[in-house]
Amino acid sequence: MIEIRIHGRGGQGNVVAAYLLATAAIDEGRFGQAFPAFGAERRGAPVVAFVRIAERKLHRHNQVLHPAFLVIQDEALLHVPGVLDGLKPGGRVLVNSSHNSELLSEQYGQQFFALPADSLSKEYLGRPLPNTALLAAFLTLTEVLPTEALNKALRDRFRGTLLDNNLRLVQEVATRVPAGIWEDSFHATGT
């Protein structure tokens, strides 16, 4: 079982990101579960969502306390207390940032990968909506699911130009990000 926690801000498509990832897993014949941590949501406020991917049906409905992966849609959230809490030893952090991955890893004492998802999404979608780019990076880094599964989940949810632009963005990210370098973290985190 892999557990993932996604941090973002209201309006960044945090819940959509979690739903897309779990949908991609389900489409691949795995068990996928996604749910938000609820609050009085409003645009700009910090929000959290959770994803589980497993080989067999899970019955649990508790929050993810010890994720193997964190996906952070706004690097300013790194300054919010608790955002990095509970990450499993050997776990990885994917962050929307134009900073250098090694420097971030050194600064926070965790293994980071930084993707400039704001500028990429501005280029492909016309506005800074980092969620799809981050998901494409996550799947490429971990190879937990093929990026085609994400494309299928996007096709289920979106239509027209928005879909086409997202599919092109996924393809671009998949070529930019080193494939499979996080595969080993499944062993490191005991997942």
- Report the residue number, 83 or 115, with the smaller CB distance to another protein: 83
123 part of the interface to another protein, by CB under 8 A = no
Give the residue, chosen from 42, 63, 107, 184, that forms a contact with another protein under the rule CB under 8 A.
63
Positions 2 through 41 that interact with another protein (CB under 8 A): 18-19, 22-23, 26-27, 31-36, 38, 40
Angle at which helices 160-176 and 147-157 pack, to 10 degrees?
A: 160
Give the residue, chosen from 45, 65, 80, 103, that forms a contact with another protein under the rule CB under 8 A.
65
Q: How many residues bind another protein (CB under 8 A)?
A: 24
- Long-range contacts, 111-114 (Cβ 8 Å, 24+): 111/185, 113/137, 113/141, 113/177, 113/182, 114/75
Give the residue, chosen from 43, 55, 59, 187, that forms a contact with another protein under the rule CB under 8 A.
59
| Phi, psi of 128, deg, nearest 5 | -75, 90
As a whole number of angstroms, the distance between CA 61 and CA 49 comes to 13
CA 171, 177, 179, 184 dihedral sign is negative
* Binding positions for another protein, rule: CB under 8 A: 18-19, 22-23, 26-27, 31-36, 38, 40, 57-63, 65, 153, 156
